[in-house]
Amino acid sequence: MRRGAALITCFIRDYAGDPVHFVDGSDGGYALAARELKRRWKERAAD
């Protein structure tokens, strides 16, 4: 599906690791990706 706009964000925790890229088709995917990223961080912290 094509969107009229897109947002690309690169998240870098430190320059030694791999960056995380978000591509949002302007319909809320970015917020959902941020929620998932926070969930994964909490999982890793609990391990």
Q: pLDDT by residue (tens digit) across 1-47?
A: 666 788 888 888 888 878 888 777 777 777 777 888 999 999 999 98
- At residue 3, the pLDDT reads 65
| Token pair 């995380």: residue | 20
Helices (H) and strands (E) in the chain, counts: 1, 2
Three-state DSSP state, 24: strand
pLDDT for residue 40 = 94
CA-wise closest residue to 22 among 34, 14, 39: 34
Nearest to 30 by CA among 13, 6, 2: 6
C-alpha R_g of the chain: 13
